[in-house]
Structure 1
Amino acid sequence: EDEEVDDPTYNPGQLQTARQATEAIQFIALVTNQFWKRWHKEYLIAIKDINKVLRKQSRNKQLVPELGEIVLIKAENVPRGAWQLGKVMRKIYHNDGFIRSVELLTRGRRIERALDLVFPLELSSPLRESADTTFEEAPDEPEEVHRVLRSQTRSQTESQHEEMPDETYE
C-alpha cells in the first residue's frame, strides 16, 4: 500500500456523490461487457481455429475434443462470464456415423452438448497425456475420477517447483 501512496501516477479517485458512484458502476459494466464480447469473438474462435490447424482437420469438419479434455460450454441465456467448464466423457456418434455431440461432466452431472457449443481450452487432461490410461478404464463415479486427477496434478506441480530456480521476491 505504501508504494501506491508514494506513486505520483496512482490516483484512486474519490466518489463524492451517489450519481458519481452510479456512473462509475455503469462505466465498469460497459467496459466489462465490451471485454466479454471481444474475448468471445477473438479468443474463443482463435482457440477453435488453432485446434483445427493442430489436428489437421479440414475447414468443413467440426473440432472434436479428446476424451478427458476440459472445454468451455457456451450457454445462450447465461452471462458470458458464467459459462460452465466441463470434461469430455464420451463422444456421441449420430445416425450418419459422424460425431455431432459429446457427453460432458459438469459439477457432478452428465450433460450432452453439440460440438458447436463446446470450446476446448489450452489445458490438457493428465489422462489424455498418459498413453497407458484411457478414459474408458476410469471408474464411472465422478468422485473417484476427481481424486485421481487431483493427485496427479499435485505431483506434476511439485515436479515443476523442483525445476524452478530458487528465487525470493519481496
Structure 2
Amino acid sequence: MSRLDRYQRLEYIRQHFWNRWQREYVTEMQQRQKWRIPTRQLQIGDLVLLKEENLPPMSWRLGRITSLFPGKDNVARVAEVKTTHGTFRRGVKYLCPLLEPADTSLEPEDSKAPEYVQSHH
C-alpha cells in the first residue's frame, strides 16, 4: 500500500468517524420530544455546544448561556451564549446542552465520588 493510499484511507476513516459522531452521538444528547410535552427548558448558565453545519464537530464552540429570549408563549427561542471567542446569539435548535444542572457544579461537597470509609482494625 503506497503512502498516498494509506493517507487517503486514514482520511476516509477519520471523516467517517466524525460524520457518525455528529449524526448519532451529538443528536442523541438532545432529547427529541414533541413541543407539547413539557420538558426542561434551557436556562441561564447551561453549558452548550453551538452546532454549526459548515464546521466539523470538533470545531464547534463550547459556551454558557448568558441570556434567553422567549417568544410570545414564554418559551425560549433564542439564546445568547458566551464563548472564549465572544458572545453569539443562536436559535435554541442550534444549541446542544451538555450537562444536566446537577452535574455542572464542581464543588467537593457536590461530588458523586464515594465517601471515605475508615476500616475497622
Interval containing the TM-score (normalised by the shorter chain): 0.7 to 0.9
Conserved 8 A contact 2:68-2:76: yes
- Call closer, same or farther: CA 1:30–1:94 in 2, change over 3 Å: same
Give the drift of 1:71.
0.8
- Call closer, same or farther: CA 1:23–1:103 in 2, change over 3 Å: same
The equivalent of 1:44 in structure 2 is 26
TM-score in terms of structure 2 length: 0.72
Q: Deviations over 1:61-89 (max 9, x none)?
A: 58732221111111122222211111111
In structure 1, what is the Cα distance between the partners aligned to 2:55 and 2:85?
19
Q: Name the amino acid aligned to 1:81.
A: M
Is 2:80 the partner of 1:80? no
In structure 2, what is the Cα distance between the partners aligned to 1:87 and 1:79?
20
In structure 1, what is the Cα distance between the partners aligned to 2:78 and 2:40?
10
Is 2:18 the partner of 1:66? no
Aligned CA-pair RMSD: 3.0
Give the drift of 1:97.
3.7
Instruction: Kindly tell me the number of residue pairs found equivalent between the two proteins.
Output: 112
Structure 2 residue aligned with 1:156, among 108, 114, 118? 108
Higher strand share: 2
TM-score in terms of structure 1 length: 0.54
Give the drift of 1:114.
0.5
Q: Deviations over 1:103-148 (max 9, x none)?
A: 101006211110111111136422xxxxxxxxxxxxxxxxxxxxxx
In structure 2, what is the Cα distance between the partners aligned to 1:103 and 1:22?
44
Answer 1 or 2: higher relative contact order, Cα 8 Å, separation at least 6.
2
In structure 1, what is the Cα distance between the partners aligned to 2:73 and 2:113?
48
Which segments of 5 or more consecutive residues in structure 2 lack a partner in the other structure? none
Higher helix share: 1
Percent identical across equivalent pairs?
23
